[in-house]
Amino acid sequence: MHTVLTIAGSDSSGGAGIQADIKTITAHNMYAMSAITALTAQNTTGVYGIQESTPDFVARQLDCIFQDIPPEAVKIGMVSNAEIIRIIVEKLKEYNAQNIVVDPVMVATSGSSLMKNDAAKALMAELLPIGTVITPNIPEAEVLSGYPIRNTQDMEQAAKKIASFVPGGILIKGGHLTDTADDLLYTREASAWYRTVRIENPNTHGTGCTLSSAIACNLAAGYPLTVCIQNAKDYITGALKANLNLGKGSGPLNHMWQEKGTCSF
């Protein structure tokens, strides 16, 4: 069985973060492991409290995982502390981790920053450069590139700027930009567009977490990056089309929308 590690925050409502990642990994018939960077008190209406793990405890979690059941892929989500970022980088290098997917959770839906300056600097200088692929949305790509994004041409320019310090793939998610859900994969060798019709579903809590975890699963299965992204987008499209409706706000996806045993891994 393929093994995948998620390093992220816990979502008490189960729609995003560690919980969404574990559901996604399980739906791909893979074995999920987790290192929790923070506990959150949240639900479909918002985040009401955050309690960070200590850097030492994050390190202990990672040691226990890599020394016993080494993951074939790693997904990294919410990390808002510079010390924790440095610990993660140190441990991933120590254990020669492969297939690293970084979802840079930097900007809230409201547009406010979720990171202090030192954490943002550590993310950009130390964590993103070790990623096999990073998956920023439009607001996050604007922060990373320092470039305003209003159209697909701007997405390409921002990706080129980010590539100056990110040697791996850069998947800019275009959901904030247009009526479509077009994403751009940019590498220093080539670029590719993934064009998808937007699914009319207000319940999108955890889509970024889910997509990045699905990419990690496909990397663990040995697929090329371009195929990994297409497979992951197909999975999340199905999860949105399932139209799960829970909670009073933006509800979660149906991660188990496929019948048991239908995944190809």
Enumerate the active-site residues.
173, 204, 206-209
Tell me if residue 144 falls in helix, strand or coil. Answer: helix
Spatial separation of the C-alpha atoms in residues 222 and 216, rounded to whole Å: 10
Spatial separation of the C-alpha atoms in residues 217 and 183, rounded to whole Å: 19
DSSP 191-238: EEEE--BPP--S--BTHHHHHHHHHHHHHHTT--HHHHHHHHHHHHHH
Residue type for position 51: Q
Spatial separation of the C-alpha atoms in residues 242 and 34, rounded to whole Å: 26
Q: Tokens at residue 255, please? A: 């991660």
